[in-house]
Amino acid sequence: MSIELRTTPHLHAPDNVIIIMRNVVFALLPICAWSVWQFGISALALILTTLASCLITERLFNPRNTLGDWSAAITGLLLALTLPPAFPLWMAAVAGFVAMALGKLLFGGLGMNVFNPALVGRAFVQAAFPVAITTWTPALFEGRFREFIPTSFTLPFTIPPAVAEWNSRVAIDGFTGATPLGLHKFEGVSTPVLDLFLGNAAGSAGETSALIILLGGLYLAARKFLDWRIPLFVLLGAGLTAALFHALDPQQYPSAPFMLFSGGLMLGAWFMATDMVGSPVTPWGVVVYGLLIGVLTIIIRLFGGLSEGVMYAILLGNAATPLIEQFTQPRVFGEKRS
C-beta neighbour count of 334 within 10 angstroms: 5
Q: How far is residue 250's CA from residue 321's CA, in Å, rounded to a whole number?
A: 34
Q: What residue ranges in the chain does DSSP mark as E strands?
A: none
Inside any domain, residue 57: yes
Rounded to 10 degrees, the C-alpha dihedral 310/316/319/324 comes to -100
Q: How far apart are CA 83 and CA 308, in angstroms?
A: 13
Distance separating alpha carbons of residues 102 and 115, to the nearest angstrom: 10
Nearest-angstrom CA–CA distance, 233 and 230: 5
Residue 308 has pLDDT above 70, yes or no: yes
Predicted local confidence at residue 310, as pLDDT: 94
SS in 3 state form for 117-184?
HHHHHHHHHHHHCCCHHHCCCCCCCCCCCCCCCHHHHCCCCCCCCCHHHHHHHHCCCCCCCCCHHHHH
Q: Considering its fold, how many domains does the chain have in total?
A: 1
Q: Is residue 81 part of a domain?
A: yes
Is 28 contained in some domain? yes
| Domain annotation covers residue 235 | no
112 inside domain = yes
The one-letter code for the residue type at 144 is: R
Q: How far is CA 58 from the centre of its chain?
A: 20
Alpha carbon distance 97, 41 (integer Å)? 22
Q: Poorest-confidence range of 182-186, 266-270, 294-298?
A: 182-186
Residue numbers of the domain that contains 166: 17-135+137-177
Judge whether 231 and 225 are in contact, CB under 8 Å.
no
pTM of the complete model: 0.89
pLDDT classification of 258: cutoffs 50, 70, 90? very high
Higher-confidence residue of 267 and 132: namely 267
pLDDT tens sequence across 210-219: 999 999 999 9
CA dist 133 and 122 (Å) reads 9
41 phi and psi, to 5 degrees?
-70, -20
Mean pLDDT for 54-79 is: 89
Residue type at 181?
L
pLDDT > 90: what percent of the chain? 56
Structural domain includes residue 11: no
pLDDT, residue 25, reads 95
Counted residue by residue, the chain has a size of 338
Residue 114 has pLDDT above 70, yes or no: yes
Residue 31 inside a domain? The answer is yes
Predicted pLDDT of residue 163: 60
133: Cβ–Cβ under 8 A, 6 or more apart, which residues? 83, 84, 87, 125, 126
The whole-number average pLDDT for the span 23-48 is: 95
Give tens-digit pLDDT for 178-205: 788 888 888 878 888 998 898 888 889 9
> Residue 1 pLDDT more than 60?
no
Residue 297 phi, psi (nearest 5): -60, -50
50 within a domain of the structure (yes/no):
yes
